[in-house]
Amino acid sequence: MSRIGKKVITLPEKTELKVSGGSVFVKGPLGELSRVLHKNIEVKINGNEVTLHPTKENIETRALWGTYASHISNMISGVNKVFEKKLILEGIGFKSEVKLDKIVLSLGFSHPVEVLIPNDLKVTAEKNVITISGRDKEQVGQFSARLRSLKKPEPYKGKGMRYDNEVIRRKQGKKSV
């Protein structure tokens, strides 16, 4: 049994949830989000309380029960407040700037790296901090992971791109005799 799936999700004020045609639609002050539901997961709405129930009892459905409960609670919080991730760029000569719908990164390669920013996300670059914000938690996390993968932090000097709260374990360099 899923602990997360059993919990009742409460809808805040000015937020409405609708289920139709195998999809969930959440509308709130910051916009609207939608997600396709799995056929074995059923969503019930009672006033401002949302519960999820599996239609079948098997291993796959029990796993999906909690997953979809988390997705729906993230959608509800996403239309009420914006999700945000920060990346810190460390290293001499490493720069980032936002140009129209692209982010241009100088990461020590022979060429600048340009990454297209998705429409739903807002990206700002100030000095060595890149801030990614948006309504969809999954999209914010995926885009920040994609940016970080371009230049992961190295363990000797810590140069590269890391998350704001990430701690890099440092290694000891060569020892001179």
pLDDT at 121 exceeding the cut of 70 = yes
User: pLDDT (tens digit, 9 = 90+) per residue, 85-107?
Assistant: 999 999 999 999 999 999 999 99
Q: Please tell us whether the domain made up of 83-163 is placed in CATH 3.40.50.720.
A: no
Ranges of each domain in the chain = 3-78, 83-163
> Residues of the chain with pLDDT > 90: what percent?
82
Classify domain 3-78 by CATH architecture. Alpha-Beta Complex (3.90)
Q: Same CATH fold, 83-163 and 3-78? A: yes
Cα-Cα end-to-end distance for the chain: 60
pLDDT for 174: 84
CB 111 within 8 A of CB 154: no
User: Where residue 1 falls among pLDDT bands split at 50, 70, 90?
Assistant: low
pLDDT for 29: 94
pTM: 0.89
pLDDT at 112 exceeding the cut of 80 = yes
- Mean pLDDT computed over 40-55: 92
- Mean pLDDT computed over 142-169: 94
- Mean pLDDT computed over 81-88: 96
User: Where residue 109 falls among pLDDT bands split at 50, 70, 90?
Assistant: very high
User: Where residue 80 falls among pLDDT bands split at 50, 70, 90?
Assistant: very high
